[in-house]
Every structure is written in C-alpha cells, then in structure tokens.
Structure 1
Amino acid sequence: MSETLAKHLNAMHAGRRAFIMAETSEKLRRAIRHQVGQRVRYLAADSNDWTKATILSHAGKVTGKYKTWLNIQDDGCDPKSIDWITGVKQWEYEPQDHISDTSLSECNEVFLSVSRQYDKDVLAAKQAELENWKKFKVFEEVSDRGQPSMSVRWVCTEKDVDGETKVKARLVARGFEESHHDRTDSPTGGKEILRVFLSILACKNWKCNSIDIKAAFLQGENFQRDVYLKPPPEAENVDKVLWKLNKCVYELNDASRVWYFTVRTFLLKLGCVQLKADPAGFYWYNEGILSGVLLMHVDNFIWGGTRAFENKVVAKIRSEFQVGQQCSGAFKYIGLQVTQDDDDITISQSQYLKNVKPVPINITRACNKLEDCNKTEQENLRSLVGQIGWMSTNTRPDVSYDVLNMSCVLNHPKVENVIQANKCLRRLEIVDSCLRFPHLGDLSNVKLIDFSDASHASLPDGYSSAGGFIIFLVGENGKSCPLAWEAKKIRRVVKSTLAAETLAVSDAVDMCYFLGTVLSEILFHVNDKNVIPICNYVDNHSLVENVHSTKNVSEKRLRIDLAALKELVQEGHVMLKWVKSNVQLADCLTKKGVNTQNLLHVVQKGELCM
C-alpha cells in the first residue's frame, strides 16, 4: 500500500469517526433534553414495534455514568429505566392533547386541542399566519437537495378579548432540532425597572401607554446564517421544497435575541439612551430635559412622555413596525392590570387571581395533617405555590413569607402544607390589594427608604434564617411608590440574629444602590453613580450600634459583612436607623403570623409617614 493511499484511508477513517461522534453527541444532547411529562413513542433495540411512553425523570446525573438513562413508563406498564442511546433505535415526540408554548400565556388564553385543528376558525387563523410570513418576507422557497432542515408545528390558542373569542395560530420551528451554539440571551424589562418607570410617569403627569407589536419576530432584522424549514401541509407547493429563512421565527433559539437587537438599533437611531443597568429600558432627552421613557418586554412596550417624544420616537415605531393593540390609561401589560387616573397609577392582578384554584382536599384527608402528600397533591401544590409566588413578586408583598415558607417544603410536602397554601389563597381573595404610584412632587427631592428584617433559624428545616426587605421611593410630600421587595432564605446558615439582620441589610442596600443608580441616570444623567439619598430602617439595636462602633464582633466571618456596611455608612452612601418593631414594615416578610395591615396600607394608599 502506498504512503499516499494510507494517508487517504486514515483521513477517511478520521472523518468517519468524527461524524459518528457528532451524531452520537447530537443524540446524547437530545436525549438528555427530555422534559418530565413529555410523551414519546420509540422503537426499542430488541423490538420492531412502536411503544408509547411518558418521560418520568432522568435516571442519572447529566454529567455522570448514567447520563443517557431515562425513567419512563410505557402505556399500561410499570415504570422502568432505559438507556436512550443504546436501548432505543428510533424515537419521536407524541402529539400532545394540548399544544403548549414556551412563553407565559395570559390567564384568559387557552391552548386548543389537536382535535380542533380542522375547525373553520382554526384553519382561518393558520392561513392568516401564513399570510404574515409572506407579507414580512420571512422565507424564500428553495429546492430540497438534502439540506439540514427543521420541522415546524402549529401553536393554536383561543383568547377572550372584550367578550369576543378569538383564535390565534402561530407557526413555530422545532428549535431543538437545530445545532446552534451562538448566544441566545435577550433582555426583558425587570419588575423593579417597570415600577421605577411607573413612578416617573406618575410624577411627570405623563399618560401611561402600551404598544403590542404584531408578529414581532417576523419583523426582525434579516439574519446571516442559513436555516431551512420543512413547510407545513397547510402551505402551498410543499413537495420537494424547503423554506430558507430570511428572518428569525418563533422558537428558533436566537429568535428573541434577533428581535431585541432590531428594536434596540432602531431606538438608538432615534436618539434614545439605553439604561446601563437594564438593557431593556430606554429614556429620551429633548433639549436637555427628560422627555420620555420606554420599557420593552419582547413584543410588548410600555411608554410615556411628552408630545415631542410621541411624535419623534413612538410615531416612528408605529411606522417602522406593524403594531397591534395600543392602549392608554387602562390596559393589561404582561399579566398586570394597569390603571391610571388623574392622581396616580395602580397595578393589580385581580383578574389573574380569579383563575387561581385551591388544591382539592376532602375533610377526612385534611384531618391527617402530618401524612405525606400523594403525587397528585404534590403536583397541585407546586402549581398553586407557583401561582401565588407569581403574585407575591408582582403585586402582593404581603404573602411573600408564606411563599418562602411553602417553597422550602415542596420536595416532601405534607397535608398540612396543602391546607396552608389554600388558606393563603383565601387570604388573597378576601383582602383585595393593589400597588399605587402617586405623584411624589419634585423628583429632584426624592429619596429611597428601605425596611429590612430577618428572623434567625425560622424556616422549616430548623436552622435556615429568613431575610426580607421592601424599598420605597418617597417624595417630599410624604407620598411613596413601592419599587422592590424580597423574602428569601439567607444565603448561609448563621449563628445569631445579628448575623441574620446584617446579611438582610446587605441585600437591601445592594438593591437600593441599584435602584438609586437607575434613577440617577434617568433623572439627572449621572452614570455609574447613585445620587439619591438612601435610608435603611432596622429594628435590631445591636446592628445599629455595631455599625456606628469601632468595636469588633466576636464572630470573625461577620466582621467582613459589617465592615462593608460600615464603609457605606461612613462614606455617606447609606443611613442606618432604628425603628420599633410595630412600625417595621418588613416584619411580615420574615415571620409567620405577623399582621400585614401596615404594609398593605402603605402600598395601597401610597403614603409613608416616618
């Protein structure tokens, strides 16, 4: 054998090995991406019959010896474990009874059953979606020459809009079939930034508005890589044809990112300034005066500003992109009900709450409080705690500790935890609440006031501590806007109440400084620095004394956290003051059974009197 031939054979073998490894890696990647509850059908290695099954869980660690093993349950059989690489010849996803979407749906939106796919209204919605793809020149038809391609699926939803039922269909790519390793992250406006913007709108007497971009991803910039889709049966001319994409479409891994940069580039061209601390927030100055703000959450924008801002920025957004629903004064934004009147802005989730249901439990079962929950009860409890948690982070700080407490036991819940969750839901239903953002007067005289608290070893495990805070933007007129709050397990096990309080204050000060930096940038064009006064209130005498003392505490590890806090106080970045426990608004964020009326009064009325 000649040396040249040997080299060629070695190269062929190396290429073949690389191909096999790549194929194996792709199979492995898809195998370990299965989600719990997914329906599949597969051909076992020792069988020629298709078997339908449900994915129960991963059988081993993702990085361990059994990373390719899954726990599954064949229809009508007991659960079992199987190596998804060597034990399965072929598999595919089983169509679901209800098609799901990765995005958060509103409470009045439901996914349609596959059995309704041939209904007239569903077919009409699909045709409307295909027309959108053509109108926005999303693809071009090319001959199928064996190019790597992805399949597509329909996501059909039914939604009640002003008493009228509307069907919407989205054609989405099966993004998991693509090997794409570029960046896929894209920012969305944070909850705290939204509240900052609402506070500014209320103080400036600007109208609060929202814009929904229609078929947003289809209006994004053209992208450079080659992506091919197999057209759906509803399209014309599908034989031996592929769609080569010009735009990023739904469920491609980088679709949200491409859309975000499309909007970002356009807003920057119009003279908007991107927030350094939250890239989804933008503000606009006109002749040296703040004249408008805009926050984007994928295809939903909330904005407010002067007439000049509307004419020079918002009007051009309307002309550049095809917009859908536009609202002012009263509307729903990312699941929140936003209402504006002459004096203030309020947000609530009362409509969302109506769709939250308690965990079913009979009287006999409720008497056995210390029994473990069965699988159904555990799943229902997780769902309910998640729904209450969503409300606690957006509009109901008064149940934050309840959510924290319940979250700590979700792995091994008991019947008493189900009862606790149902009681928490009833309290939400009985005590209606909202967040109010009133006029604070001159924005150059506002300050940040924070209440922080902790409870040592108070969580269900018996040794973890709870910490919490709530932060208000307060005007010289005594009015206040709630900007941020939190109730969480303190990041390490601590030895004393002093240590727990110190770590809780540290987290609160971090958030205050973040919010102060954002406000300083928007209101005063000051970058990377906070010029908003910060005052933190605690009900622990020892903490206040230690921060203002030169004496060291005996716990060495705590000295580091106290030193950082002392430095902030000494340099004038933060003021630390003591208050009585009966006026400590964060008390109910860290302890069970504490009255929440004081906190609710402040967030509902927008009045903080110190």
Structure 2
Amino acid sequence: MNAEITAFEDNNTWLITDLPPNKTLIGCKWVYKVKLKADGSIERYKARLVAKGYTQQEDFDYYDTFSPVAKLTTVRCLLALPASNGWLLLQLDVNNAFLHGELNEEVYMKLPPGYLVKGENKVCKLTKSLYGLKQASRQWFAKFSSTLLLHGISQSKSDYSLFTRFQGKIFLALLVYVDDIVLASNNDDAITQLIVFLNTQLKLKDLGPLKFFLGLEIARTSKGISLSQRKYSLEILEDSGLLATKPSKFPMETNLKLSRSSGELLPDPTSYRRLVGRLLYLTITRPDISYYVQLLSQFMDSPRQPHMDAATRVLQYLKSSPGQGLFYSASSTPHLKAFCDSDWAGCPDTRRLVTRFCVFLGDSLISWKSKKQHTVSRSSAEAEYCSMAAATCEIVCCLVYCIIFRFLIHNLPYSSAIAKLPFTLLRILYTMKGQSI
C-alpha cells in the first residue's frame, strides 16, 4: 500500500484540496491480489487503490470510454509470423499503466482508506487517471498511442491496438491489450531502442521472452511456437468438480440434437452460464470444441438438464487432453488460405444454418468460427453461399495484416507483394475499392 501511494505521489496523480461547492465526490477502496506465474506459483503480492467509478455520472465526471483490446486474430498472426520468420518475441509491462493518462474532467475523490487524518475534510482532486474510473483505460491508451506515434511508429487502421514500423529491412510490431504489451521484431537493436525510449516516457518492466499472455501459455522451440491454455483447462475441471472424472475421446454424441423444450429446467442456471462462459474463452486455443460451445451457448437463457449433461461431456473430453492447443511451425510459409462449410436447417428449433470456417497462414491456424446465422436458408446452396460470405469477410480482415507483413518480410514494393496474392483475393480487394479487374 505504501508503494502504491508513493507511485501516486511521484506521478502527481492528485492534489489535496477542499471540495468545491456543487461538486460530487466519489469513493475509493483497496484491492489486494496475489499475482501468479504460468505454473501457478506465487509471483508477488499486489495492493491497488481503485476508485469507485460506478458512482460517476455520465457527461459530468466522464464523457467517453474505451479499452484497447486487440483482436484475437491479430494476436495469433503476431505469433505465427515470428515463428515462421525467426523473429524475437518479448513481453513488456507498464508499472501503474492507468496512472499515466491525463484527465480532461474535474474529478474529486475521497482520501485513501488508512491514510485519513482524523478531523480533516480534505479531498483528492485527480489530475491523472486512476484505476476504476470510467475513462481510465481510454486516457491511458491515448497517452500510450501518442507516445508511440512520436517515435515514428504507425497505428494500424484495421486493429487500433497494433502498431508497426519498418525501416529498410528492419521491422517492428507492437501489440497492446489494455496494459499488456507484446513486442516482435527481426532486429535486436530496434527492440532495445524502443524499450529505452518507452522507459523514459513510461516506467516499463521487461518480462523477457513471451511465455504467458492473457492466460495463454506460450512455449517456443527451434521447431516453432506452441500455444495452449492447460492451466485454465485444469482450473475449469477443478471448479466443476470433474478433475478426477473419466476422460472421453469425443466431446459430444454424433447424432445428438439439443432443443429448448426437451428435459427439465435447471433449478439454478448460474453454474451452467458460468461454465459455458469459461468454455468460450477456452476456444481461443481449442478450435476442436468451438462448434459444441456455440451450440451450448444458445441455451443460456433457460438451460435444461440435457444441456448440462452435454456440457459435462465437453469437460470429460477436455480431461483427456487439457494441454492441447495450437502449433505454429517454424517451417511454415506466409500463404493465406481458408476453408468454409455449413449445414442446412441444422437447428431443430429455428431451422437456421450453422456457418463454419477456418483461415490458415501457411500451416498455422489463425482464425476460425462456428456460428448460427440470423436467417433461414431455402436451400443447401444458399447455406453454402452464406458460409462463403462470412469466410470472405474474415479473409479480408486477415488480408490487411498479411499483405503488410509479407511486404515487410521480403522488402518488396507494394505492387510486387500484391502480385503474389491469389487471383480470388485480388478480386475481393478491387471489389472493395469499387474497381474492376
């Protein structure tokens, strides 16, 4: 707690003053947390002062909110490309990241609990953002992005959390997820210079090679990069009481049809909703359960016993391979390809189709989806076209990254990088620009 207060004082986070008339006062509290490593061991103990932002009033205490969350496709691209090209992958952390954002509004907060002086009626006038404020993440990202732009790093227009810079054959990419930063480059000096520059503007903590990011366990060898959520899978099994259950070889029966009206309603649907929500996050590295999780997520409003039994079967399947995940080979080539498929009237309740697609960058799986469409298709051909349309939208999104990266990797003119793309993707690009080919 003393270290946190010292950081506030060094950063000039607030001014001690009297509360002006007609001004609202928000509270604050201490939050204590134990930070764990990837193997579950204790890394450090942390105390954080958090403002009670839920008492803020819109248009008075804050105006806009925003949190820099990177697209998961971007995260996988940033792992697949360094694996195939031998780039460096580092992880950075900013100490008290949200404290660097400067506030544009007048916000007054009570003095921190435990540091009050008896009989004193002073308050804190916040000059910089604080954890818990509605606008804290937005102000932090504004400060961070402006700092990078001053260093000559460009911000991606397709994913605002991605920053890139190239000088000749030197390429550097930086990805930010709230306050977690991943850095990739093909040059050691470029990384060193950027870290030194950021350390002068923000207090950085170099965490070394990327090993644990957003709950993802990352292991790198000479053959490639392995991505899994083994620790998270075991936590789900432990919380569900199925850590010692008998494993299953497949997640669901082949001909099983789940309906909204079959079976008895669960007396307490909270456990089902929490379980499906955690399984949704597990699909980041487990495309093999994506179809089954999207099927289970359709019954969140009124889950029944057959739905819970099906979810339990998915957990038994996870028990057989909790460490299974993705592998990005070092020998993969940056060639973009996609596959799509769909069923027809597969849902017994709505007769809607389920669209499925996956996108590969070489041999590396970077994007996939299994989703029930909003419309009913009249034929299987129409269902296939719906699936192709969804896959095309994802290809265009991935294409933005891959054209840039491929152009930078080989140091080719933009026209030469375009010429290497498949003809079908060229037609997509020119159609988006309103041109013909």
Same fold at TM > 0.5: yes
Residue 128 of structure 1 deviates from its aligned partner by 2.5
Separation of aligned partners in 2, 1:424 and 1:406: 10
Distance in structure 1 (CA, Å) of the matches to 2:87 and 2:43: 33
- Partner letter of residue 57 of structure 2? S
Task: Name which of 233, 246, 250 aligns with 2:131.
Answer: 250
What corresponds to 2:175 in structure 1?
A: 295
SS in 2 for 1:278: coil
How far, CA to CA, are the matches of 2:95 and 2:26 in structure 1?
Answer: 24
Bigger CA drift: 506-515 or 458-467? Answer: 458-467
- For 1:338 and 1:152, the matched residues in 2 are separated by 36
How do residues 377-456 of structure 1 correspond to structure 2 at under 5 angstroms?
378-392=269-283, 394-431=284-321, 432-440=323-331, 446-456=334-344
What aligned pairs does 1:188-267 form with structure 2 within 5 A after superposition? 188-220=69-101, 222-237=102-117, 239-267=120-148
One of 487, 506, 514 as aligned partner of 2:397? 514
Matches within 5 A, 1:68-217: 126-146=1-21, 147-161=23-37, 163-164=41-42, 166-181=44-59, 182-217=63-98
**Within 1, Cα distance between the matches of 2:399 and 2:387?**
18
* Contact 1:490/1:504, CA 8 A, preserved across alignment: no
In structure 1, C-alpha distance between the alignment counterparts of 2:18 and 2:113, rounded to whole Å: 16
Q: CA deviation at 1:187?
A: 2.6
How many residues are aligned here? 399
**Unpaired stretches in structure 2, ≥5 consecutive residues:** 243-260, 409-413
Q: Distance in 2 between matches of 1:397 and 1:324?
A: 33
Q: Which runs of 5+ in 1 are unaligned?
A: 1-125, 362-368, 475-479, 537-562, 574-610
Q: Within the alignment, does 1:322 sit opposite 2:203 as a pair?
A: yes
> C-alpha separation between the residues in 1 aligned to 2:337 and 2:332?
16
| Post-superposition offset of 1:155 | 2.0
Match of 1:375 in 2: 267
> What residue in structure 2 maps to residue 96 of structure 1?
none
* TM, length-normalised to structure 2: 0.84
Which aligned runs of 4 or more in structure 1 are off by greater than 4 angstroms? 358-361, 529-532
Q: Distance in 2 between matches of 1:317 and 1:428?
A: 41
Amino acid at match of 1:132: A
Q: Deviation at 1:311? A: 2.4
How has the CA–CA distance of structure 1 residues 441 and 495 changed in structure 2, closer, same or farther, with 3 Å as cutoff? Answer: closer
Aligned partners of 2:226 and 2:325 also within 8 Å: yes
| Aligned residue type for 2:266 | N
SS at match of 1:271: coil
* Distance verdict in 2 for CA 1:145–1:410, change over 3 Å: closer
Match of 2:247 in 1: none
- SS for the counterpart of 1:226 is strand
* Aligned-residue CA RMSD (Å): 2.8
Deviation at 1:307, TM superposition (A): 1.5
CA distance in 1, matches of 2:50, 2:231: 29
Cα distance in 2 for residues equivalent to 1:308 and 1:456: 54
Match of 1:491 in 2: 374
Q: Alpha-carbon deviation of 1:504?
A: 0.8
**Residues 156-206 of structure 1: per-residue CA shift (max 9 Å, x gap):** 223334633743222111112222332212332110011111122113312
Aligned equivalents of 1:564, 1:312: Cα separation in 2: 39
Partner of 2:249 in structure 1?
A: none
> Which runs of structure 2 are paired with 1:289-368 in the superposition (5 Å)?
289-305=169-185, 306-324=187-205, 326-329=207-210, 331-357=211-237, 359=240
Given that residues 34 and 42 in structure 2 are in contact (C-alpha distance below 8 angstroms), is that contact kept between their aligned partners in structure 1? Answer: no
> How far, CA to CA, are the matches of 1:164 and 1:462 in structure 2?
49
Taking structure 1 as the reference length, the TM-score comes to 0.61
Q: Is residue 161 of structure 2 the alignment partner of residue 280 of structure 1?
A: yes
Compute the displacement of 1:319 (Å).
3.2
- Who is 1:464 aligned against? 352
SS at 2:142's partner residue? helix
Aligned to 1:12: none
Go from structure 1 to structure 2 and tell me whether the alpha carbon gap of 1:277 and 1:398 turns closer, same or farther (over 3 Å shift): same
- Contact 2:222–2:330, Cα closer than 8 Å, also in 1: no
Q: Would the aligned equivalents of 1:212 and 1:300 in 2 still touch at CA under 8 Å?
A: yes
For 1:144, give the aligned amino acid. Answer: L
* Cα distance, 1:517–1:370 mapped onto 2, change above 3 Å: closer
Given that residues 359 and 381 in structure 1 are in contact (C-alpha distance below 8 angstroms), is that contact kept between their aligned partners in structure 2?
no
Deviation at 1:532, TM superposition (A): 6.3
List per-residue Cα deviations over 1:483-507 (Å, max 9, x = no partner).
1000001131111111111111101
Instruction: State the Cα distance separating 1:473 from its structure 2 match.
Output: 0.7
The answer to which structure, 1 or 2, has the higher relative contact order (CA under 8 A, 6+ apart) is 2
Q: What SS does the aligned partner of 2:113 have?
A: coil
- The residue identity in structure 2 corresponding to 1:337 is E
Matches within 5 A, 1:513-532: 513-524=396-407, 526=414
Identity %: 23
Kept in 1, the 8 Å contact 2:29–2:113? The answer is: no
Q: 1:273 to 1:165 in 2, by over 3 A?
A: closer
Letter in 1 for 2:324: S
Residue type of the partner of 1:319? T
Contact 1:283 1:522 in 2 (8 A): no
Determine the structure 1 residue equivalent to 2:255. Answer: none
**8 Å Cα contact 1:473/1:481 also seen in 2:** yes
Kindly provide the CA deviation profile for residues 309-356 of structure 1, in whole angstroms up to 9, marking residues without a partner as x. 112212222332222351315x21011111111231111100111100
- Matched residue of 1:422: which SS? helix
Asked if structure 2 preserves the Cα contact closer than 8 Å seen for 1:472 and 1:484, the reply is: yes
Between the aligned partners of 1:535 and 1:421, the Cα distance in structure 2 is 43
Letter in 1 for 2:10: K
Q: Quick one: distance in 1 between partners of 2:332 and 2:278? A: 36
Structure with max Cα Rg: 1
Is the contact made by 1:142 and 1:242 (CA closer than 8 Å) also made in structure 2? yes
Aligned equivalents of 2:422, 2:316: Cα separation in 1: 36
2:387 aligns to what SS in structure 1? Answer: helix
Q: 1:409 to 1:346 in 2, by over 3 A?
A: same
Q: CA deviation at 1:534?
A: 5.1
Q: Structure 2 CA distance, aligned partners of 1:179 and 1:531?
A: 53
One-letter amino acid of the structure 2 residue matched with residue 471 of structure 1: V
Query: Aligned partners of 2:179 and 2:418: how far apart in 1?
Result: 31
Q: Distance in 2 between matches of 1:423 and 1:531?
A: 48
2:106 counterpart SS class: coil
Q: Within 2, Cα distance between the matches of 1:290 and 1:249? A: 37
2:252 matched to which residue of 1? none
1:520 and 1:531 in contact (8 A); partners too: no
Residue 280 of structure 1 contacts residue 297 of structure 1 at CA under 8 Å; is this kept in 2? Answer: yes
Determine helix, strand or coil for the equivalent of 2:376: coil
